[in-house]
């Protein structure tokens, strides 16, 4: 009887306190390509033709999502989505795995595996090594920071700016 109660107690505890991988966010698809919900701020809203919402829970890569959002673009063949790893191998010479990703100066903290960016939306890719930081030069931990600059209005304006150096001429 005691073993029966112990087994029952373990079973109930497991059911009540077990970890749940269910995400509160829906699974996002653009032109049938699965991507992270964080990517939505990098999709031009003028390019969206329609949005379809499915309220059924979905399991993708052993992660449960609360529904699905399917976005159809006006020109589906226009997008060439690259993962962060593909961007690293295509735009940089980095071979090691110790990398921190940034997009427009903002750190990417989660959903790195499902984060995708349109290749046509990439302006430049900048690489900074941890040795370039004064406080990290003596550290044993070495890593690279990959900052992906996208074709936003601000980035395009900054790229087109020409800074002139020289003597300032004042008007009196």
In the chain, domain spans: 1-78, 80-160
Task: List the pLDDT tens digit at each of the 172 positions of the chain.
Answer: 566 555 545 555 555 555 555 557 888 888 888 877 777 777 777 888 999 998 888 888 788 888 888 988 888 777 888 888 999 999 988 888 788 899 888 888 877 887 888 888 889 999 888 777 777 777 777 888 899 998 888 877 877 776 666 555 555 4
Instruction: Say what the alpha-carbon torsion angle 51, 57, 63, 69 is, to the nearest 10 degrees.
Output: 0
Look at residue 29 in the predicted model and tell me its pLDDT.
Answer: 87
Look at residue 172 in the predicted model and tell me its pLDDT.
Answer: 46
Look at residue 116 in the predicted model and tell me its pLDDT.
Answer: 86
């Amino acid at each position: 009887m005691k073993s029966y109660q112990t087994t029952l107690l373990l079973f109930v505890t497991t059911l009540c306190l077990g970890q749940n991988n269910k995400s509160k966010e829906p699974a996002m698809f653009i032109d049938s390509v699965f991507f992270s919900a964080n990517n939505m701020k990098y999709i031009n809203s003028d390019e969206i033709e329609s949005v379809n919402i499915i309220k059924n829970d979905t399991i993708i890569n052993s992660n449960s999502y609360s529904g699905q959002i399917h976005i159809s673009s006006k020109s589906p063949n226009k997008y060439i989505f690259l993962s962060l790893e593909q961007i690293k191998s295509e735009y940089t010479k980095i071979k090691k795995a110790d990398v921190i990703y940034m997009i427009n100066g903002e750190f990417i903290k989660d959903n790195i595996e499902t984060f995708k960016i349109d290749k046509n939306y990439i302006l430049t890719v900048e690489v900074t090594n941890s040795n370039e930081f004064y406080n990290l030069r003596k550290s044993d931990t070495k890593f690279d920071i990959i900052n992906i600059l996208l074709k936003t209005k601000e980035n395009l304006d900054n790229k087109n700016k020409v800074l002139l150096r020289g003597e300032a001429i004042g008007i009196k």
